[in-house]
């Protein structure tokens, strides 16, 4: 019994180019990296240009898109073209055996109009990331961060201006695949804080079963508090913060609070009280945060005492879905899906694309 898998499809505005992308999430485990592969079908007798190219574009946006329109002549992004290949006319000396199983099934389905392509990224380029700037920003704006786009276009040369009607753009994600540690390797941090105007010390211990989590996975944060001081602990404030280091003109660290919660259950913890413990479940979602994060714990104390704060760095990574490693056995096992961005990522066409020449 064979297993079905999805292949993502997107048409050019004039429907003369159709791209079938095998997977949209590219994983890098620092040993090997998934290829960006698929096929392109074309209407050869209707194309204005005689050549078809494909390239991988990396865009780093470090300012809001609306600023590009306000400040004439100033843009807040950098673009890099990582690889460019000519996929039509086909190189007749190319070895067909190097095509993947799914590419072969697509070629079998679409026949001579199928043009296969394959890119392999290097390990030294950054992972896809979205910087959480301001919740008031429209979801239709291009996000700040790093984004990769597969561009397939018809042109005479790879460097000339791309016509909007003759181009297909598909956003892909380059993700670093991290493997969470076993549950028996607990991640513990402890802080002991004396007070200037109170006797004794406050002991706080935070325990996590591991320091690497998948997006959407519940993070059980266990807290142990021994209040051996004469002060009281009124409540706890817990935050999950996106932590990103950016190097462009100079290095800077960007932090944004994506989860902010307070708990007063079991409080206050009176002076000289020990043995308080509680497990708090945190679940930052994929839309809220990506990459490295910090769990910040702040104990709000009584009058005359400074609040006690500690931080635990963690990593949020993506889980490789089962579909991504399944190989179809027959052409009929492939499910063609329209390539669409998730609702949280839908954005307007970029200003650069709007300036493209029409066909």
Let me know: does 34 contact 148? Beta carbons within 8 Å. no
Q: Which CATH number fits domain 5-177+320-338: 3.90.650.10, 3.40.50.1980, 3.40.50.620, 2.60.40.840?
A: 2.60.40.840
pLDDT of amino acid 256:
79
Q: How far is CA 183 from the centre of its chain?
A: 25
Do the two domains 5-177+320-338 and 187-317 of this chain adopt the same fold?
Answer: yes
Residue 162 CB contacts under 8 Å (≥ 6 apart), including other chains:
151, 153, 155, 356, 357
Chain-centre distance for alpha carbon 284: 14
What are the tokens at 63? 């300012």
Options 2.60.120.10, 3.30.70.1880, 3.30.420.40, 2.60.40.640; which CATH number does 187-317 get? 2.60.40.640
Q: With 0-12 CB in 10 A as exposed, 13-18 as middle and 19+ as buried, what is 244?
A: buried
Cα–Cα distance between 140 and 36 in angstroms, integer? 26
Residue from 112, 115, 121 nearest 91 by CA: 115
Per the CB < 8 A criterion, the answer to whether 12 and 169 are in contact is no
- What are the sequence ranges of the domains in the chain? 5-177+320-338, 187-317
- CA gap 296, 301 in Å, rounded: 16
Instruction: Give the bridge partners for 196, in sequence order.
Output: none
Please list the pLDDT of the chain residue by residue as tens digits (359 residues).
345 667 889 998 888 889 999 888 888 887 888 899 999 998 777 777 778 999 999 988 877 766 666 666 677 788 888 899 999 887 666 666 688 888 888 888 888 888 999 998 888 888 888 776 555 444 456 677 888 999 999 888 888 777 788 889 999 988 877 666 555 567 889 999 888 888 889 999 999 988 888 777 889 999 999 999 888 899 999 998 888 777 766 777 778 787 889 988 888 999 999 999 999 998 876 554 556 788 999 999 877 678 899 999 888 777 766 544 344 444 456 777 776 655 444 443 333 333 333 33
DSSP class per residue in 138-155: -TTSPPSEEEEEEEEEEE
Q: Which two tokens stand for residue 122?
A: 């290097």
pTM given for the model: 0.72
Distances, alpha carbon 31 to alpha carbons 23, 122, 205, in Å: 19, 11, 36
Which residue spans within 62-155 are E strands per DSSP? 77-88, 114-119, 129-130, 145-155
Alpha carbon 104 to its chain centroid, in Å, reads: 29
Report the candidate in 157, 154, 151, 173 with the shortest Cα–Cα distance to residue 353.
Answer: 151
């Amino acid at each position: 019994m064979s297993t079905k898998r999805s292949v993502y499809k997107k048409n050019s505005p004039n429907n003369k180019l159709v791209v079938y992308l095998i997977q949209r999430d590219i994983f890098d485990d620092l040993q090997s990296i998934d290829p960006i592969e698929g096929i392109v079908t074309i209407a050869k007798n209707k194309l204005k240009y005689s050549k078809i190219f494909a390239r991988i574009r990396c865009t780093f946006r470090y300012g809001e898109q609306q600023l590009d329109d306000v400040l004439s002549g100033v843009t807040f992004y950098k673009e890099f073209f990582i690889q460019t290949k000519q996929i039509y006319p086909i190189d007749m000396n190319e070895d067909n055996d190097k095509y993947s199983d799914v590419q072969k099934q697509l070629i079998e389905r679409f026949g001579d109009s199928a043009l296969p392509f394959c890119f392999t990224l290097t390990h030294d380029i950054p992972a896809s990331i979205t910087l959480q700037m301001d919740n008031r920003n429209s979801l239709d704006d291009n996000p700040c961060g790093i984004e990769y786009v597969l561009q397939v276009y018809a042109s005479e040369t790879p460097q000339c201006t791309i016509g909007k009607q003759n181009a297909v753009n598909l956003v892909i994600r380059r993700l670093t695949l991290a493997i969470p540690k076993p549950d028996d390797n607990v991640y513990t941090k402890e802080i002991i804080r004396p007070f200037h105007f109170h006797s004794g010390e406050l002991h706080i211990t935070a325990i996590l079963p591991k320091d690497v989590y998948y997006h959407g996975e519940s993070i059980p944060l266990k807290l142990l508090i021994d209040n051996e001081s004469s002060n009281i602990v009124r409540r706890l404030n817990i935050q999950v913060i996106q932590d990103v280091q950016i190097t462009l003109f100079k290095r800077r660290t960007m932090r944004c609070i994506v989860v902010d919660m307070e708990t007063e259950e079991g409080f206050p913890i009176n002076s000289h009280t020990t043995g308080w413990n509680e497990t708090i479940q945190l679940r930052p979602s994929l839309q809220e945060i990506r990459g490295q994060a910090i769990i910040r714990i702040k104990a709000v104390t009584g009058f005359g005492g400074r609040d006690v704060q500690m931080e635990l760095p963690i990593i949020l990574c993506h889980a490789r879905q089962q579909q991504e490693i399944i190989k179809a056995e027959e052409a009929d096992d492939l499910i063609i899906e329209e390539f669409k961005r998730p609702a949280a990522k839908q954005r307007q066409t970029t200003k650069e694309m709007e300036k493209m020449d029409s066909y």
